[in-house]
Structure 1
Amino acid sequence: MTNISFSSVVQHLRQTAIVLASLLAIFTPARAAHAAEMVDVLVYGATPGGIAAAIAAAKGGSTVALIEPTPRIGGLVTSGLSHTDFRTFEGLNGTFLDFARRVEAHYVKENGADSAQVRESFRGTFGEPKVNLAIFEAMLVEQPKITVERGLRLASVKLDKSGDRARVESATFTKSVGTPGSTQQSEFQAKVFIDGTYEGDLMAMAGAPWRVGREGKAEYNESLAPDEADDQLQAYNFRWIMTRDPKNRVTPTAPAGYRREDFVEVLKVLETGSIKKIFAYPSGCIFKAQLPPLPNGKFDINDVSNGLIRLSLPGKNLAWPNGDAAARAAVFQEHVRDQVGLLYFLQNDPEVPAKFRDEAREWGWCRDEFEASGHMPPQLYVREARRLKGVHIYTQQDSAQAPGDARAVLHRQAIAMGDYGNNCHGTLHPGPRFGGKHTGEFYNAVPPYQVPYGVIVPAIVQNLLVPVAVSSSHVGFCALRLEPIWASLGQAAGYAAAHAVKNKIAVQEVPVPELQRQLHADQSATIYVSDVLPGHADFAAVQWWGSAGGLHGLQAPFAKPGQRGKNISGQYYEAYQGHAAELDKKLEPAQLERWLAIAKELRLPLDKLPAATASPTRGDFIRAAWK
């Protein structure tokens, strides 16, 4: 195993100091200023949701400033979360599907169509962080209307409160320059602002109402909620990228503040025999090495759901959502000390049984990843922080199965869809650090679900959209907090912003049917249809008809809600059953009658629709209605 050299350690310490200085720079008085820059749309936070928003806004004709507070764009998808959370390939669409296809094309070009790397990329959803970063960078370069700024942290927002709704006029950012402690201010004016951060920093500064913590069961009638409201928050952890390849392996070292006594209790758990390996999947281990693996011998390492020893640290992140840069830096360092400290203990402590210690030492950081941060991901996995309280608050009922139907409840104002389900890694860990069990943990299977426009729209700010820290309850948020869904919501936010700019209207006034047409034309889905996928000639027509309610009522409910197809690997499955359009299937009389009622409600010209005597297929009817 290769050891880190002394010079590398020094370099890592310097880089850590730079990161901490950058986090603290927001509180240092600025020493220089620039004149305000003007754009149509400003997106703060280059997460996948923020990137998708910027691209869509540019496609919609707007000039865009995409501002990222760190040096690295891409959020968690370029900072360790390479094992993308979705259930079925049929659920991928829009900007995220475009991204995944580009990742796969990269491996085809670099390694050949029949290479192991292409297979391991899992249709491009399992890219190495450095590859994911390169793809996002390329996607942004293709849009000349987008200017990307890195290392600018939001300092203040100027509001106009003279109307019925507040309006964001400008935002000021600080950037570290020159010697430590020196900062430079930049002011941006925009017609519409989009908050793409995981934390909702822009929306909070703009005065949009928000919430942190869990609602009580009675507030929204949610069975997964606790009995009483509290301030508990879903746990965070790092998503390490690790390897067993000696040629690319870097040995982890003890983190700053490491204390052996913090980890000796793990020995008692190892003695019970409940832990079979240090790295494994999906259980009986300490670190979950996600399967299938990533290309080139790399693994995305995550928290073990319902495990005895957890990577995630509930309760240690409460200062993060509304914390200043210093508070967040402290939370970040505590997670480094604990999580890397646990790994270091297991790899090096002489009291760790040899079979575990030797196995653990087979693993290390990847030499060719995260070079600027000592091969550790530069971002913490912020699963949940602030949540907007907007026009529509997404709750457990919004992704529940519709009565008498295989599908989830219908949202005619849908701008995105998801297929993962409500998922929480826990919000509290009573008792000792090692052993015991997280509480507040749940994994709720539901049919694929829709997400309405109101979840990204504040009620009281007329030119702000929030596609990541969305309006939802804690339980509802746990169905939306997946990067592909955030990317879809960002794509919708970008088009909505461009529409508001072009038509000089508030974001609350954007007509959702027109927004849906733009999204469908850009291959983004607003309802799950397993057999008419992006690129299909009828994709836009079927999405439109399905979002109007035409695909509900075609399949009776299964005994188990959200019945998936056969398992492919791990958390990935073949398409959800009962969610096909079956365009070649003949329309039954009762179904034709119901579809004609929908057409009448939509004020479509009924004389141009197929008559029952013509024995139309589903496809015949949908295509005629679409025209």
Structure 2
Amino acid sequence: MKILLSLRALCSRSSLLVLPWLVAAFSPATAKDYQADVIIYGGTSGAVMAGVQTARMGKTVIIVSPDKHLGGLTSGGLGWTDNGHAAGIGGLSLEFYQAVKQHYEKPEAWRQETHEEYRKNKRPYNRNRPGDKAMWVFEPHVAEGIMDDFVAKHQIQVLRDAWLDRENGVEMKDGKITAITTLAGDRFVGKVFIDGTYEGDLMAAAGVSYHVGRESNATYGETANGVQKDRRDHDHFFTAKISPYKIPGDPKSGLLERISAEDPSENGSGDNKIQAYCFRACLTNDPDNRIPFPKPEGYDPTQYELILRVYESGWDETFRKFDLMPNKKTDQNNHGPFSTDNIGANYDYPEASYERRREIIKEHETYQKGMMYFLANDPRVPEEVRKEMSTWGLPKDEFVDNGNWSHQLYIREARRMIGQHVVTEHDCLSKTDVTDSVGLGVYTMDSHQTQRYVTQDGYVQNEGDVGLHIKHPYPISYGAIVPKAAEAKNLLVPMALSASHIAFGSVRMEPTFMILGQSAGTAASIAVERGVNVQDVDYKKDLKPRLLADKQRLVHVPKKKKK
């Protein structure tokens, strides 16, 4: 019956993208029932670490992954780790980065260059000093290989390309999730569930409270939330007076592409907008491993007219965020007033259907690939930029089953749970007394641009970029990964956790997600062992001692000053 309900719900959607699934996905003969102590939905880095920790604690666990590749953004191109105050990273998260270092200590790991040649690149190597026990910069396939090894070593059952039926696929009884069902009809019965997705899909389907967008500053008494038109924390704003109109200075000619006509609202006010997404593109400048940037289907050079005006204003930082990784590759991130961040194109992503999300992801791919092609080929682009861009391309040995393009869009923010404790900028600035720490936040409160608009004096400007620094690592409350007891008694949410928009800008980093994933696995296992709700796990007696035993770092320990 549930399979038929899922089929009806899916068929009611208009997108033709569902058609290839129908024959294989909805056969009652292929649907199966599974059972484990802990069921994890998601294939992200945090989901993997939750699974590993659960297995290490002797509990049965199944990872139900909508992704074909494990590791999320860690294996999807973000090889230039946002490690911030790295001394706060411990447990399985640190273990992962130590495994990266062990990999690159092998001579056979260096295929396009030698280790010694890589060391000559001062900027990346400063992040990987010889004395470090971990390595924070790495190639995507190396990260995925380590994730797969973790899962194999702990004999964790993983079902890939398995999508939660978000409309009918969550069964609940007496405030607890009893089972979840995928679109393929597979049913997973568990005692505790963990939502390990960036989007918080299981959390939302279970009826847990959440927020999408930016709260106002007044909501939690913050300073850096909501609309931030006057902040200039990074170099991602228009510093020159650039006209937003097709004919400069003529509003009647219409706006250039990628500029909104909507009023940006008042400073500090809340809205339903979210910070921009992009792909953390893995590129290479090794001629033997490089595929020239292809012209994507749907390529439209008018989408990039604005960057030509940026160049005309004298801006020359195109390659500032081509952060070098081993073997002549780069983790290429957004930089400047017009770059790879697809500002304003993701507002409906968090709540969108799977079909709509695929459309959004494809549009982001077309935009970013098109931009690379434009910069390398359009004769209007400054010659020095075209010449340098043409030395870069897609690596032949990365993402080989996806056209050498990342399989993971950077979902910087989607849904955020409203749980027992909401992490705010006060937590990040260590102004609150957190007594139930399950890990440390280590990074700046970092939000990318949220909107591109026309100022009152008729020029183009970006809004939303904030970089509010933290002084040292800060504790993250167990209550931030736990729903309110009245909503779900056996669910943990380490990824789409309970945090304000600006605080989430700090906790959303991959090392922190791995930390919280491990802590969620610990709490889930204790809840199973003790037969209690996740809200009733005894922090002092059970959770904290186990976290410390597994080398999680729960409090900031200041460095001793040299005499």
Bigger drift between 64-73 and 252-261 goes to 252-261
Question: Structure 1 residues 580 and 215, CA, compared in 2 at 3 Å: closer, same or farther?
Answer: same
1:198, 1:470 → 2: CA distance?
9
Q: TM-score, normalised by structure 1?
A: 0.73
Q: Which residue of 2 aligns with 1:301?
A: 332
Instruction: Between 493-502 and 217-226, report the one with greater CA deviation.
Output: 217-226
- DSSP-derived class of the 2:439 partner: strand
Distance 2:96 2:199 in 1: 23
- Report the counterpart of residue 262 of structure 2 in structure 1: none
Conserved 8 A contact 2:40-2:51: yes
Equivalent residues of 1:117, 1:295 under 8 A apart: no
Counterparts of 1:500-511 in structure 2, within 5 Å, are 500-511=527-538
| SS at structure 1 position matched to 2:489 | coil
* CA shift for structure 1 position 52: 0.9
Correspondent of 2:465 among 436, 441, 449: 441
> Cα deviations across residues 189-222 of structure 1 (Å, max 9, x unaligned)?
0100000000001111111111101111111111
The DSSP-based 3-state class of the residue aligned with 2:470 is coil
Distance 1:485 1:86, change over 3 A: same
Aligned mate of 1:372, from 397, 401, 406: 401
Higher relative contact order structure (alpha carbons within 8 Å, sequence separation ≥ 6): 2
Question: CA, structure 1 residues 461+83, in 2 after alignment: closer, same or farther (shift >3 Å)?
Answer: same
* Aligned with residue 246 of structure 1, among 287, 299, 305: 287
How far 1:27 moved relative to its partner? Answer: 12
3-state SS, counterpart of residue 263 of structure 1:
helix
| Equivalent position amino acid for 1:223 in 2 | T
Distance 1:150 1:23, change over 3 A: farther
Query: Does 2:157 correspond to 1:147?
Result: yes
Q: Does 1:40 align with 2:45?
A: no
- In 1, the alpha carbon distance for the partners of 2:385 and 2:444 equals 34
User: 1:458-537 maps to which residues of 2 (within 5 A)?
Assistant: 458-459=483-484, 460-513=487-540, 514-529=542-557
- 1:266 is aligned, of 307, 312, 318, to 307
RMSD: 2.4
Shift in CA distance, 160/401, structure 1 to aligned 2, threshold 3 Å: closer
| Contact residue 89 and residue 440 of structure 2 kept, 8 A | no
Cross-structure match for 2:274: 233
**Equivalent residue, structure 2, for 1:289:** 322
Instruction: Look up the equivalent residue of 1:262 and give its one-letter code.
Output: Q
User: Within the alignment, does 1:76 sit opposite 2:73 as a pair?
Assistant: yes
Distance in 2 between residues matched to 1:452 and 1:102, nearest whole Å: 28
Q: 1: CA distance between counterparts of 2:290 and 2:348?
A: 34
CA positional deviation for 1:352: 2.1
Task: Specify which of 48, 52, 66 is matched with residue 51 of structure 1.
Answer: 48
Q: C-alpha distance in 2, partners of 1:264/1:112?
A: 41
Contact persistence 1:23–1:326 (CA under 8 A)? no
Q: Which moved more, 1:334-343 or 1:464-473?
A: 334-343
SS in structure 1 at match of 2:552: coil
Q: Is the counterpart of residue 130 in structure 1 residue 153 in structure 2?
A: no
Counterpart amino acid of residue 328 in structure 1: R
The more displaced of 256-265 and 76-85 is: 256-265
Change beyond 3 A, Cα 1:524–1:441: same
> Does the CA-based 8 Å contact 1:200-1:385 persist in structure 2?
yes
Deviation per residue, 1:578-613 (Å, 9 max, x gap): x1368x99xxxxxxxxxxxxxxxxxxxxxxxxxxxx
- Deviations 1:159-208 (Å, cap 9, x if unpaired)? 334x3xx111111113xxxxxxxxx4211101000000000011111111
Show the counterpart of 1:609.
none
Aligned 8 A contact 2:103 2:109 in 1:
no
Q: Which residue is equivalent to 2:4?
A: none
What is the CA deviation profile of residues 79-104 of structure 1, one whole-angstrom value per residue up to 9, with x for unaligned ones? 01111101233222111110111111
How far apart are residue 501 of structure 1 and its match?
0.7
Q: Does 1:278 align with 2:275?
A: no
CA 1:46–1:581 in 2, change beyond 3 Å: closer, same or farther? Answer: farther
What is the CA distance between 1:473 and its match in structure 2?
Answer: 1.2
Distance 2:107 2:143 in 1: 14
Partner amino acid for 1:51?
V
Where structure 2 has 5 or more consecutive residues not aligned to the other structure, the ranges are 1-15, 120-124, 129-133, 227-267
Measure the CA separation in 2 of the matches of 1:316 and 1:269: 21
Matched, 1:382 2:382: no
Q: Is the 8 A contact 2:428 2:441 kept in 1?
A: no
Task: Give, in angstroms, the shift of residue 332 of structure 1.
Answer: 0.8
- Deviation (angstroms), 1:22: 7.5
Of all paired residues, the percent bearing the same amino acid is: 35
For the 8 Å contact 1:240–1:302, the answer to whether it is kept is: yes
Write the distance in 1 (CA, Å) between the matches of 2:379 and 2:218.
51
Whether the 8 Å CA contact 2:450–2:464 is kept in 1: the answer is: yes
Q: Which residue of 2 aligns with 1:557?
A: none
| Cα shift at 1:506 | 0.4
- Paired residue for 2:244? none
Structure 1 residues not aligned, in runs of 5+: 1-19, 175-183, 282-287, 403-408, 530-578, 586-627
SS at the partner of 1:497?
helix
Listed as ranges, the matches of 1:65-214 within 5 Å are 65-111=62-108, 115-116=115-116, 122=128, 123-144=134-155, 146-155=156-165, 156-161=168-173, 163=174, 166-174=175-183, 184-214=184-214
* 1:298/1:398 CA distance change after superposition, 3 Å: same
The code of the aligned residue for 1:230 comes to D
CA distance change for structure 1 residues 35 and 246 in 2, over 3 Å: closer, same or farther? closer
1:23 offset after TM fit, Å? 10
Structure 1's consecutive aligned runs of 4 or more residues displaced over 6 angstroms after TM superposition are 26-29
Q: Which amino acid aligns with 2:213?
A: G
Q: How is 1:530-609 mapped onto 2 (pairs within 5 angstroms)? A: 579-580=558-559
1:137 Cα offset (Å): 0.8
8 Å contact kept, 2:35–2:190: yes
Largest Rg, 1 or 2: 1
- Aligned length, in residue pairs: 483
Shift of 1:24: 7.7
Residue 100 of structure 2 aligns with an amino acid whose one-letter code is V
Q: Is 1:410 matched with 2:433?
A: yes
